[in-house]
Amino acid sequence: MIPITKSRLSLWASEPSRLAQHQSTKNPPSTADYVIVGSGFSGASLAYHLSCQHPKAKIVLLEARDACSGATGRNGGHLVPEYIKHGQFEKRNYDAIYQLITEHNIDCWTNEKGERGWLILKSLKEYQDANRALEHNDYDLRLYTAQQAARKLGLESYNDIHGALNIPSSPINPYRLVNWLLERSIAHGVDFYTHSEVIDIDDRTAGKVGVTVKGKGQITADKVILATNGFTNLLSIPRLPEIKPVRGQVVRFEVDEKSLKVPLTNGKVSIGWGDEYLAVVPTKTPGKVSVVLGGLRKTVPGYEVGQIDDNTVNPEISGKLLQFAKDRFGINAAPVEEWTGIMGFPQTGVPYVGQIRGYNGGLYIMGGFEGHGMTRIYETARALSENMETGSWPSWFPEQYQYTAHPPSKI
């Protein structure tokens, strides 16, 4: 069962959306063309693409808790493409999201052109791979040695890094972006139901998929898509691929902008540091900025694998985050708030996207983005929408993501 108790709010969700507890009608309809389970970035992107492509289709979106209350609404607030390993596809996502935001003037802190961030390179191999990535001039990357990076970023030390990439990237308020997608999807005719937990999926009706919603009956649909990421395997039904829940933890500080040595653009910057990440965003108080720092789960026993409670924090990680902020960035302020979110890690290391065997050919999955979904999900949802209609994948969609009865090998 998904934790339903009152959850810790992240910075992004500190002003709840008017859709937080939305119910399109008293109960969901008994039939639908598409049922999407989960209202994070994956579910909202799917609802948006499907409703744009199929305006007459009956689309139902179900969420067990408040709207966008899972990992998306609790992440580190980054829109940072992984240019080294997956450059072309992640740049495609970054460009598509940026175009959407600017075209519709979505207020999520990512609408200023030319913003740049940083990827810290922790090993010699990462530095060498980054150097090869420079061959792609359309990525607009700038490579710095460790000493140059420390000077640019005002780092307290640089003995354990090998350099840094300066890249097109930005902090983002994911909660605001997802709620815009949800609002637009509802305007297109999508029925959205929060506090509607799916407890079973079956194939008892010929050619259809049955979705049982706790306390609200059953929906019979042509196609059902699980966009439940780290909570996927809490739904105990056969033939689902394994996606391990992994808890990430984030802390926020509020500091004087002038006290930070990190260079900011419009009061913002995004920095990736291996498994750790830092975002700086404006506050409502003039001269103050929020510093959002997450990661360090690999410094504690068990790496937070298997944890599904996003209402609590790990005090050991809390202490390590405070020390990291002090040692790396000279931040001595007390934290303002702290929160956790449940990520989804697939067994293969590659997201699962596509049709699941059985279920009358109508059950699909989209999940397992390992805490790096913001620059993968939007165009993945577009590709899956096309695949469900045509049976084929667009040529630009990574073959590794395409799930079959035999899961793809790890890249």
**120-134, 293-307, 375-389 — which is least confidently predicted?**
120-134
Task: Give residue 366's identity as a one-letter amino acid code.
Answer: M
* pLDDT, greater one: 140 or 215: 215
Locate the domains of the chain by residue range: 113-170+245-346
The per-residue pLDDT for range 143-186, each reduced to its tens digit, is: 999 999 999 998 888 888 999 999 988 899 999 999 999 999 99
Distance CA 181, CA 96 (A): 14
Rounded Cα distance, 188 and 46, in Å: 13
What are the CA-CA distances from residue 172 to residues 75, 112, 330 (Å)?
10, 11, 23
Residues forming beta bridges with residue 345, ordered by sequence position? 244
For residue range 217-266, list pLDDT tens digits in order.
999 999 999 999 999 999 888 888 899 999 999 999 999 999 998 888 88
Please state, in angstroms and rounded to a whole number, the distance separating the CA atoms of residues 277 and 263: 16
Question: Which bin fits 262, alpha (ψ -120 to 50), beta or left (φ > 0)?
Answer: beta
Query: What are phi and psi for residue 117, nearest 5 degrees?
Result: -135, -165
- pLDDT band at residue 411 using 50, 70 and 90 as cut-offs: very low
pLDDT for 405 equals: 47
Lowest mean pLDDT among 65-69, 355-359, 400-404: 400-404
CA distance 206 to 185: 29
- The whole-number pLDDT of residue 280 equals 94
User: In this model, does residue 410 exceed pLDDT 70?
Assistant: no
Give the model's pLDDT for residue 7. Answer: 54
Q: What is the CATH number of domain 113-170+245-346?
A: 3.30.9.10
pTM of the model: 0.94
Q: How far is CA 377 from CA 39, 42, 230, in A?
A: 13, 6, 14
CB neighbour list of residue 227: distance below 8 Å, 6 or more residues apart: 36, 37, 38, 40, 42, 43, 46, 366, 367
- Residue 113 pLDDT: 63
Nearest-angstrom CA–CA distance, 354 and 102: 30
pLDDT in tens, 350-393: 999 999 999 999 999 999 999 999 999 999 999 999 999 999 99
| Crossing angle (nearest 10°) for helices 377-390 and 41-53 | 40
By C-alpha distance, which of 291, 307, 303 is closest to 259? 291
Is pLDDT above 50 for 406? Answer: no
Q: 3-state SS of the chain: helix, strand, coil percent to 5?
A: 30, 25, 45
